[in-house]
Structure 1
């Protein structure tokens, strides 16, 4: 659905913004993004 896509995009953007700051791995894993 469009809602799911929007939520997924928002989650990906939040994870991307978190990564340069060296956020805790737990936060990245809980959002399903493994980098």
Structure 2
């Protein structure tokens, strides 16, 4: 039960962490393309 809860918590935590990183990569890619 605790393992499932921990996995669920991790699933909820990962998207907010990856979102800014993905956004920064997207901006960097756009800057490179504009050059």
Q: If the TM-score is normalised by the length of the shorter chain, which range does it land in?
A: 0.5 to 0.7
Q: TM-score normalised to the size of structure 1? A: 0.52
Unaligned runs of 5+ in 1: 22-35
Instruction: Give the number of equivalent residue pairs.
Output: 21
Structure 2 portions without partners, runs of 5+: 1-14
Using CA pairs below 8 Å that are at least 6 residues apart, which structure has the higher relative contact order? Answer: 1
Give 1 or 2: higher helix fraction. Answer: 2
Larger Rg: 2
What stretches of structure 1 move > 4 A for 4+ residues in a row? none
